[in-house]
Structure 1
Amino acid sequence: MISRFFSAVALFVIACLPAQAFETRAKAAWVYDVTTHTVLMDKNGEASLPPASMSKLMTVNMLFEALKDGRVAMDTTFGVSAHAVSFTEAGGSTMYLQQGDRPTVQDLIHGMIINSGNDACVVVAEGLAGTEAAFAEQMTERARALGLTASTFANASGWPDPGQRMSMKDLGLISVRLIEEFPDLYPVFGQTEFNYKNRAPANAHNRNPLLALNIGADGLKTGHTQEAGFGMVGSVKQGERRIVFAISGMASDTERAEEAERIATWAFRQFALKTVVKAEAEVAQAPVFMGEADTVGLVPAQDVKLLIPALAQDGLQAQVVYNGPLKAPIAKGSEVAQLVITVPGLPEHRVSLLAAADVPKGGFVKRLSTAAQKLQAEYLGAPAS
């Protein structure tokens, strides 16, 4: 493995130091910059915890997938069982469904997301899987397939149960999936009111405290049980950037709202999105073995954009890494190296580097010259050129 190191001043002319530390009051938190795929904060982020109503995001995902693959349509109707209605009678969040209702999939999406309806979740579970228990098993299986390693489900609504567990990281990842995979459905998370058949004026509003702040918030879900405390999964988009965060274990809804805003403010004001290398700008030359040319330029296919902490002092570090010398023939555009960029306080960032030109195999004279140089270096101790 051969690498080439470049000073930050020469390569990028950008300096940085770690962002100011953020001490969250949440017992567990995970903050993610979606635009650059950067984890900004991880406090007990992989701990398997009671998710309360935030686990409804997995139920929403299951219904969105059913819509996408054609198993249901927006106007498909589901029946309402006595089991579903019992959640309204037991207290907790509801869209006030009654037996005999035939809510559409569109109604139920709004009821789950805006009203946080436990009854709506049960109706979806029974409509898709026959029983809520069977649906919970499917949720767990699907979570595993999606890489949500700390998630298990015992029900569709987040009702307290020892088998209902998710991590803040898993909640963040399923949120990113909802945003990226279902762009036509995701905007429901930003809607503030839904009142099914005018039955629930007191429960018709979205509980997301960030939606009214005009800071670019457009989702996702709050949650609360005695065991879990007050939690929230949120998403905020400002300019090119979007962040997703999940927090749990707050002491009150007021503290939850304050902490959610603090995290969003920190994530956007302590980090700036910068283009550090332009697409197809040559960042290095790599030696080529047995080629018509002795070197080939290395370029990124796209602009390299990174989060840079706002306060500047020390430079970025960038290293070009490849197995070398590169062996001809080399096709223009083929991946031959990586640019490894280290930003203080953040995970390293790896970018594929491509060959900037074709390098055919050298002719007979070139191969003979290279072989002679290699023999000279190995057996006579002279350096090969």
Structure 2
Amino acid sequence: MKKLTSLLVAAAVALPSVSFANAPFVPPVPEIAGKAYYLVDFYSGQVVASSDPDKRIAPASLTKLMTGYLTYKAIKEKRLTLDQKLTVSHKGWTTGGSRMFLDPKIPVSVDDLIKGMDVQSGNDACVTLAEAIAGSEEAFGQMMTAEARRLGMNNTQFRNATGLPNPEHYTTVHDLGILASAIIREYPEFYKTYSLKSFTYNGISQPNRNLLLYRDPNVDGMKTGFTDDAGYNMVASSRRDGRRVISVVVGTASPEARAVESSKLLNYGLQFFDTPKLYAASKPVSEIPVYKGDAKKLPIGFASDVYTTVLKGQSAQLKADLTTSQPVIAPIKAGQVVGKLVVSLDGKKVLERPVVALKAIEQGNFFSRLWDSIKLMLGW
């Protein structure tokens, strides 16, 4: 039996025409007074700037982003409801650090616990939610680490829901960027909680410790943290002109410093870069031939919108090359990967994305399959 060889067929793909004046001088990344930092474009997923992105750090209350993520997931999966009432355990009530001042005699709604966690950074709220979801905070820590691995946070390990010091509890600024992006993308309805400037519970009003919420109208979240070991940490997100960037800054010297350093990064990313949308999800960019199917052409495209991040003025210089494996033989499933897109700038790859089938193609009848087999054998 003759073996058919898979060939790569390359096709230049026309990118949207974007006209800019000559690119202005772009200064280097500003000096950031912290142990590590990370700046990522939310839509493209590309790293704009970083320093020691994979260095292990103590997250402190940035841990609560994962506690929140698993809480939002439990609500989405109907394992919790927003109006469900929970009672703080003795462990939760006696946990030190920041609190929302739960009363063991008064049940509290999951909705209030989320606000107490996200706005007030309440450790008592975190322990209460962790125990409701996993039975114990220890089991919840294992769940947190497993979820981190699923998200691609490969240098993270959680031991508690609060971020209180533990030598086996660590993460990286890169991994925190992954987590922040996941919350914004998957749970936008809960992300809004991080923009609340204060929350009152049990007669006690506490302000959000994210100082940028009061200073920059473009900043709409996310979370701060502090321990003596970690220093002052912050994850922040800002959107402007249809773009969004996420910064992670850890190990600064004060609440003021973490706000100032985060603002430097956010403004750098928004001021000097663009994130053009290259292709829309589920919209055909080309058609390729299919053999032995009930159709002869397969529309191909992308499962999600495709963005890339470049310096301002460089969008028009992008070049895209789309390659597909040939021959493509039915049956083909919708969403099946059939090739890849590589976007380059000045000969350097800036983006790679899988190209997928936009519809299913079933096998054709006996005679069409026979005829296509003959064509493949003869190289027609």
Structure 2 counterpart of 1:181: 186
Distance 1:319 1:210, change over 3 A: same
Distance 1:230 1:6, change over 3 A: same
For residue 136 of structure 1, the aligned residue among 124, 129, 141 is 141
Structure 1 counterpart of 2:342: 340
CA distance in 1, matches of 2:305, 2:127: 46
Encode CA deviations 1:12-59: one digit per residue, 9 max, x unaligned: 576887964314423222222121222222322222211000001111
Q: Secondary structure at the match of 1:22?
A: coil
Structure 1 counterpart of 2:265: 263
Structure 1 counterpart of 2:29: 22
Distance 1:346 1:4, change over 3 A: closer
Q: Secondary structure at the match of 1:247?
A: strand
Deviation at 1:146, TM superposition (A): 3.1
For residue 71 of structure 1, the aligned residue among 79, 86, 99 is 79
Q: Secondary structure at the match of 1:212?
A: helix
Structure 1 counterpart of 2:323: 321
Deviation at 1:207, TM superposition (A): 0.8
In the TM superposition, 1:63-142 aligns within 5 A as 63-87=71-95, 90=96, 92-142=97-147
**Structure 2 letter corresponding to 1:235:** S
Structure 2 counterpart of 1:58: 66
Distance 1:300 1:205, change over 3 A: same
Q: Does residue 352 of structure 1 match 2:359? A: no
Structure 2 counterpart of 1:273: 275
Structure 1 counterpart of 2:237: 235
CA distance in 2, matches of 1:7, 1:69: 40
For residue 165 of structure 1, the aligned residue among 158, 162, 170 is 170
CA distance in 1, matches of 2:135, 2:290: 63
What is the identity percentage for the equivalent residue pairs of Structure 1 and Structure 2?
28
**Structure 2 letter corresponding to 1:115:** Q
Deviation at 1:309, TM superposition (A): 0.8
CA distance in 2, matches of 1:313, 1:146: 30
Distance 1:11 1:182, change over 3 A: closer
For residue 153 of structure 1, the aligned residue among 154, 158, 162 is 158
Residue correspondences, number:
358
CA distance in 2, matches of 1:116, 1:191: 12
Asked if structure 2 preserves the Cα contact closer than 8 Å seen for 1:53 and 1:116, the reply is yes
Question: Structure 1-normalised TM-score?
Answer: 0.76
Deviation at 1:346, TM superposition (A): 7.4
Asked if structure 2 preserves the Cα contact closer than 8 Å seen for 1:79 and 1:127, the reply is no
Deviation at 1:312, TM superposition (A): 4.6
For residue 255 of structure 2, the aligned residue among 253, 256, 259 is 253
Q: Secondary structure at the match of 1:194?
A: strand
Deviation at 1:206, TM superposition (A): 0.6
Q: Larger Cα Rg: Structure 1 or Structure 2?
A: 1
- Bigger CA drift: 112-121 or 98-107? 98-107
Asked if structure 1 preserves the Cα contact closer than 8 Å seen for 2:43 and 2:307, the reply is no
For residue 213 of structure 1, the aligned residue among 200, 212, 215 is 215
Deviation at 1:149, TM superposition (A): 1.5
CA distance in 1, matches of 2:276, 2:315: 16
Q: Secondary structure at the match of 2:47?
A: strand
Asked if structure 2 preserves the Cα contact closer than 8 Å seen for 1:14 and 1:315, the reply is no
CA distance in 2, matches of 1:94, 1:303: 41
**Structure 2 letter corresponding to 1:52:** A
Encode CA deviations 1:294-320: one digit per residue, 9 max, x unaligned: xx9997568754323115599334334
Question: Structure 2-normalised TM-score?
Answer: 0.77
CA distance in 2, matches of 1:281, 1:80: 54
CA distance in 1, matches of 2:61, 2:146: 19
**Ranges in structure 1 where 5+ consecutive residues have no aligned partner:** 291-295, 375-384
**Ranges in structure 2 where 5+ consecutive residues have no aligned partner:** 1-6
Asked if structure 2 preserves the Cα contact closer than 8 Å seen for 1:339 and 1:353, the reply is no
